[in-house]
């Protein structure tokens, strides 16, 4: 090979791995990825420990945790911490032409530095009247012609594609809108959306893209699955183009996500907040025809901070960076690597919380009252209660104390290593109001998203 491998990177917003048939979901949502990755490597237990979008991508594209990036909030203000390099910057330094599709202009997001090109595509947002939203087709209209041009260059390329299909609004085109639902979404006896319609912060936004008078949460859930299946079909077009251009054996293809998505679970309502498993679980899969083994599934727990060091190892690039994440390639070849089964988890989206996750236990603690009036401390046994329905905080105070102490010890260790305070303590404008909330009433009456344009502006911040 005369030049370094290309990298085609699918950074899919809001894609939870347990709604992908690739990961055993009982609905066939990702048949094309399933088939493609039969010859690839699938990491079965990847997590995004700092949600949502801004810290998720910051970790993914730097190989660092939130202490190193100093990024923990959706509405992060300013840049990442000085000295942290992005994958695009490292690859550009190593002779790559770097292209970012659908992630705004340079510095629109803390982690999208280092791209030579910033391309956008239309129809990421919209309402019921503008249905359907052909997000992935719109992205393909930009990506495929640019791939054809890049294939003629001498330089290797790094192309990052930010798919928005699993992100609300979920309004997929036919037949995907009915693929996973054949009932009556207007059944007057169905009250599964009643609490959502009564939730002031979000109800106006949902009213713009839900079918008018829709009563069925199952229908909305099916639209999420429909978006995933629609996107999967469109991704197959890009993969076919890669083959047609003769680039398959010269290109590392990566699939991952910045965070999962909450559907009608935990009263968080079709968004990506709440430190529950549905929001923390993400896919991570690789294929490099002829260069990586096929049919490999790696059960080790890993995190988004492991993505960059793993990719650089495959590309044969020594960045000289001491990553917080690990190179996972030894595990791909069946070697034992040091496990990292416990993790510090954070969120600053619609509420500010942090916690500690082990294979058995999940603890999270509110740093201020939240918009959902949830208890300050939540504790779940992930083995006995994988859906996190029974808060054990009052029943297991010793476990709460043990996990809290492990979390605080980790915070103290990382603060000492980076030489500054945990960003979840210093991000004073995480909510956009310039002050912390004193009560859940204040949070509930202050925070509001009214329509897709407001959602787009919020995401842009």
Q: Which two tokens stand for residue 453?
A: 């344009």
Residues 400 and 445 in one domain: yes
User: What's the predicted TM-score (pTM) here?
Assistant: 0.95
- 149 in any annotated domain: yes
- 60 in any annotated domain: yes
Residues 6+ apart with CB under 8 A from 244: none
At residue 2 the predicted structure's pLDDT band, cuts being 50, 70 and 90, is low
Residue 370 has pLDDT above 60, yes or no: yes
Residue 413 has pLDDT above 90, yes or no: yes
Question: CB 205: neighbour CB atoms within 10 A?
Answer: 22
Q: What is the mean pLDDT of residues 67-86?
A: 87
- 1 in any annotated domain: no
Task: Return d(Cα 111, Cα 55) in angstroms, integer.
Answer: 8
- 255 in any annotated domain: yes
CATH of residue 383: 3.30.1120.10
Q: Is the preceding omega at residue 52 within 30 degrees of 0, hence cis? A: yes
At residue 82 the predicted structure's pLDDT band, cuts being 50, 70 and 90, is confident
Residues 188 and 43 in one domain: yes
Residues 408 and 265 in one domain: no
Residue 107 has pLDDT above 90, yes or no: no
Task: Return d(Cα 17, Cα 48) in angstroms, integer.
Answer: 11
User: Which tens digits make up the pLDDT trace of 330-359?
Assistant: 999 999 898 899 999 999 989 999 999 999
Q: Which two tokens stand for residue 176?
A: 């995907």
Task: Return d(Cα 459, Cα 461) in angstroms, integer.
Answer: 5
Task: Return d(Cα 255, Cα 42) in angstroms, integer.
Answer: 9
- 20 in any annotated domain: yes
Which of 59, 15, 20, 350 has the alpha carbon at shortest distance from 167? 15
Domain that holds residue 76: 6-332
- 338 in any annotated domain: no
What SS3 state is found at 178? coil
User: Which tens digits make up the pLDDT trace of 134-182?
Assistant: 999 999 999 999 999 999 999 999 999 999 999 999 999 999 999 999 9
Q: Decide which of 312, 332, 352 is a domain's last residue.
A: 332
CATH of residue 284: 3.40.720.10
Which single residue is written with the structure tokens 């809108």?
Answer: 177
Residue 457 has pLDDT above 70, yes or no: no
- 431 in any annotated domain: yes
By percentage, how much of the chain surpasses pLDDT 90? Answer: 84
If you compute the radius of gyration of the chain from its CA atoms, what whole number of angstroms results?
21
CA dihedral (378, 382, 383, 388) positive or negative: positive
At residue 311 the predicted structure's pLDDT band, cuts being 50, 70 and 90, is very high
Which single residue is written with the structure tokens 């798919």?
Answer: 163
Q: Which two tokens stand for residue 133?
A: 């939203």
Q: How many residues does the chain have?
A: 461
Q: What is the largest CA-CA distance in the chain?
A: 65
* pLDDT for the residue 124: 66
Quick one: CA torsion of 361, 365, 371, 374, rounded to 10 degrees? 60
Which single residue is written with the structure tokens 């009247």?
Answer: 129
Residues 319 and 349 in one domain: no
Residues 301 and 437 in one domain: no
Residues 6+ apart with CB under 8 A from 105: 118
Q: What is the mean pLDDT of residues 63-69?
A: 96
Residues 79 and 211 in one domain: yes
Q: Is the preceding omega at residue 169 within 30 degrees of 0, hence cis? A: yes
* pLDDT for the residue 461: 47
- 401 in any annotated domain: yes
Residues 292 and 374 in one domain: no
Task: Return d(Cα 202, Cα 443) in angstroms, integer.
Answer: 13
Q: Under a CB-based contact definition with an 8 Å cutoff, are residues 329 and 252 in contact? A: no
By percentage, how much of the chain surpasses pLDDT 70? Answer: 96
Q: Decide which of 277, 306, 332 is a domain's last residue.
A: 332
Residues 349 and 328 in one domain: no
Residues 111 and 173 in one domain: yes
Average predicted confidence (pLDDT) for the chain: 93
Domain count across the chain:
2
User: Which tens digits make up the pLDDT trace of 254-302?
Assistant: 999 999 999 999 999 999 999 999 999 999 999 999 999 999 999 999 9
Residues 134 and 223 in one domain: yes
Residues 179 and 302 in one domain: yes
User: Which tens digits make up the pLDDT trace of 378-402?
Assistant: 999 999 999 999 999 999 999 999 9
Task: Return d(Cα 302, Cα 339) in angstroms, integer.
Answer: 8
* H or E element, residue 157: strand 157-161
Which of 142, 144, 80 has the alpha carbon at shortest distance from 112? 80
Q: Which two tokens stand for residue 219?
A: 């229908």
Q: Which two tokens stand for residue 450?
A: 């009214």
User: Strand pairing partners for 344?
Assistant: 356
Helices (H), 40-193: 53-60, 66-69, 87-93, 135-150
Q: Decide which of 305, 332, 359 is a domain's last residue.
A: 332
Residues 268 and 157 in one domain: yes
């Amino acid at each position: 090979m005369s030049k370094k491998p290309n990298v085609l990177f699918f950074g899919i917003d809001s894609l939870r791995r347990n709604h992908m048939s690739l990961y055993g979901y009982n609905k066939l949502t990702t048949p094309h990825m399933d088939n493609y990755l039969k010859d690839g490597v699938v990491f079965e237990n990847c997590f995004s420990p700092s949600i949502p979008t801004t810290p998720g991508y910051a970790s993914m594209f730097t190989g660092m945790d939130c202490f190193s990036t100093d990024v923990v909030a959706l509405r992060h203000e300013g840049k990442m911490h000085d000295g942290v390099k992005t994958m695009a910057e490292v690859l550009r330094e190593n002779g790559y032409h770097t292209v970012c599709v659908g992630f705004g202009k340079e510095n629109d997001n803390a982690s999208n530095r280092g791209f030579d090109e910033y391309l956008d595509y239309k129809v990421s947002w919209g309402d019921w009247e503008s249905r359907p939203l052909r997000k992935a087709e719109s992205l393909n209209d930009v990506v495929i012609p640019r791939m054809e041009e890049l294939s003629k260059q001498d330089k290797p390329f790094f192309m990052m594609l930010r798919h928005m299909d699993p992100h609300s609004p979920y309004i997929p085109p036919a037949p995907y809108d009915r693929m996973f639902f054949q009932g009556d979404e207007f059944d007057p006896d169905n009250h599964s959306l009643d609490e959502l319609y009564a939730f002031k912060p979000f109800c106006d936004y949902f009213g713009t893209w839900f079918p008018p008078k829709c009563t069925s949460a199952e229908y909305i859930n099916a639209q999420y699955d429909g978006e995933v299946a629609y996107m999967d079909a469109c991704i197959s077009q890009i993969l076919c183009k890669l083959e047609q251009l003769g680039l398959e054996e010269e290109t590392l293809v990566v699939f991952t996500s910045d965070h999962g998505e909450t559907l009608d679970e935990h009263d968080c309502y079709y968004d990506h907040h709440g430190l529950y498993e549905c929001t923390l679980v993400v896919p991570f899969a690789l294929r490099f025809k002829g260069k990586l083994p096929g049919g490999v599934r790696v059960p080790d727990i890993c995190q988004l901070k492991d993505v960059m060091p793993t990719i650089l190892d495959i590309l044969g690039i020594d960045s000289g960076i001491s990553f917080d994440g690990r190179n996972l390639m030894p595990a791909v070849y069946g070697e034992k690597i040091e496990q990292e089964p416990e993790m510090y988890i954070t969120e600053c989206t619609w509420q500010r919380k942090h916690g500690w996750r082990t294979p058995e236990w999940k603890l999270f603690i509110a740093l201020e009252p939240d918009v959902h009036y949830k208890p300050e401390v939540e504790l779940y046994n992930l083995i006995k209660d994988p859906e996190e329905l029974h808060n054990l905080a009052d029943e297991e105070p010793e476990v709460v104390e043990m996990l809290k102490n492990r979390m605080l010890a980790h915070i103290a260790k990382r603060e000492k290593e980076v030489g500054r305070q945990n960003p979840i303590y210093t991000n004073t404008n995480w909510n956009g109001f310039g002050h912390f909330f004193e009560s859940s009433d204040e949070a509930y009456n202050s925070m509001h998203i009214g329509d897709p344009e407001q959602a787009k502006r919020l995401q842009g911040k």
